[in-house]
Structure 1
Amino acid sequence: MLKADLRRAALARRRALPANELARRSAELQKRLLENFAVGAWKWLHVFLPIPQQHEPDTWRIIHRIWERKLPVQLAVPVVQPDGQSLRHYHLTPATTLVGNRWGIPEPVGAAEVFPQQFDAVLVPLLAFDEEGHRVGYGKGFYDRFLLECRPEVLRIGLSLEPPVPKITDAWLGDVQLNACVTPEEVRWF
């Protein structure tokens, strides 16, 4: 399947999800992530904050559970830069002040910058993924560029509300593959 077709179909299905189903799937993602990965052994975890109007997985569930369990991992979140091409990353703590940007995504204010080489794992947003670990995002390439800046051994973990498709036919060398993907039903390793 082609990325553009997968993107349109996935966005339509996601927007049609009732709030209670989105919450259920997000809870399953949080549970599977914390049960199947040694999150407490990581020094830095990069996590995206959800865009509510896109019905993205509620990563706040993961963040709050990490804080509740007092896991020693530090969290960082991305901020889209004024060039519209790149991301910078900032430390997120329970005391971090957040302000909504033009897309409604909360962004940290006055937080310390964290650099891509520091991350042990990155939670990667996506709309669809295939059985080989390729993913379809919103098509801007933010995460492909960002992941290339990380250390080669960084663990790239997709969070998907749906199971994989068999194959994304127009994946190319510039697409950074996932190491694993968490769905409400399972964890897939690649």
Structure 2
Amino acid sequence: MTTGRSRKERLRAEGKVRRDTVQDRSLKSHTIQQKVLARPEVTSAKTILLYLSIRSEVTTDLLRDTWLADEGMQLVVPICRGPILTLFALNSMEELSRGSFGIPEPAPSLASLPERQVNPEALDVMIMPGLVFDPQGNRIGYGKGHFDRLLEQARPDVFKIGLAFEDQIVPHLEPESHDIPLDLILTEKSSYE
């Protein structure tokens, strides 16, 4: 008998393999980012949380650079400090270096400045990665629960977006009682809302 945890671990492993073997990754990432930039929920937002892509994730460089250049937009990036993600108001790429898990992060001295920390309730939009998604807005992440805990702290009306390659979409995931579904999943081929 397969337990929920072992099924999730199997899906996680399969999702990582599918994501790692995506062809034309750069072109597909660009298409996905263009879709994000066209969304009215995004164009009207003032404060956006964006993951900074690593490894085989959907690249977020275009989004990052666009929003850093937009004076009317506050770009917020997550910082992994133990089991909790803290949020940092990013003003330029020069503020970043490689941190936990190889993820670009600000230096601890800069990240600890109170004026640069962001409360999750201030977010209008959250953009997050994952390994597996379904059309109903469910996601499986890396298994640490970082974004799950962050979603619990955000306002109920925050617009939640997952970025994925079409190969990462499965017909149905079994969400757990604490899982909060996303409002939108964007792939190079589809928009799941």
TM-score, normalised by the number of residues in structure 2 = 0.86
Give the counterpart of 1:165 among 149, 170, 177.
Answer: 170
Confirm or deny: 8 A CA contact 2:166 2:190 kept in the other structure. no
Give the counterpart of 1:118 among 110, 119, 122.
Answer: 122
Is 1:8 the counterpart of 2:6? The answer is no
Using the TM superposition, give the Cα deviation of residue 96 of structure 1 relative to its aligned residue in structure 2, in angstroms.
4.7
Aligned to 1:17: 22
Aligned to 1:148: 152
Deviates more, 1:127-136 or 1:32-41: 32-41
Alignment of 1:23-172 (within 5 A): 23-52=26-55, 55-68=56-69, 70=70, 72-81=72-81, 84-94=82-92, 96-109=94-107, 110-111=110-111, 112-162=116-166, 164-169=169-174, 171-172=175-176
Confirm or deny: 8 A CA contact 1:7 1:127 kept in the other structure. yes
SS at match of 2:16: helix
Pair 36,95 (structure 1): closer, same or farther in 2 beyond 3 Å: closer
Separation in structure 1 between the aligned mates of residue 42 and residue 71 of structure 2, nearest angstrom: 8
Separation in structure 1 between the aligned mates of residue 8 and residue 18 of structure 2, nearest angstrom: 15
Deviations 1:28-71 (A, max 9, x none): 1111111123423211000011122xx11111121113345x36
Pair 38,102 (structure 1): closer, same or farther in 2 beyond 3 Å: closer
Confirm or deny: 8 A CA contact 2:29 2:58 kept in the other structure. yes
Separation in structure 1 between the aligned mates of residue 27 and residue 129 of structure 2, nearest angstrom: 18
Give the counterpart of 2:180 among 173, 176, 182.
Answer: 176
Separation in structure 2 between the aligned mates of residue 138 and residue 102 of structure 1, nearest angstrom: 14
Separation in structure 1 between the aligned mates of residue 125 and residue 92 of structure 2, nearest angstrom: 20
Count of aligned pairs: 181
Identity %: 31
Structure 2 unmatched runs, 5+: none
SS at match of 1:26: helix
Deviations 1:164-189 (A, max 9, x none): 311113x2111111011111112211
Instruction: Kindly provide the amino acid, as one letter, of the partner of residue 156 in structure 2.
Output: P
Confirm or deny: 8 A CA contact 2:67 2:75 kept in the other structure. no
Structure ranking higher in helix proportion: 2
Confirm or deny: 8 A CA contact 1:41 1:72 kept in the other structure. no
Moved >4 Å (runs of 4+): none
Structure 1 unmatched runs, 5+: none
SS at match of 1:145: helix
User: Cα RMSD over matched residues?
Assistant: 1.8
Instruction: Kindly provide the amino acid, as one letter, of the partner of residue 126 in structure 2.
Output: V
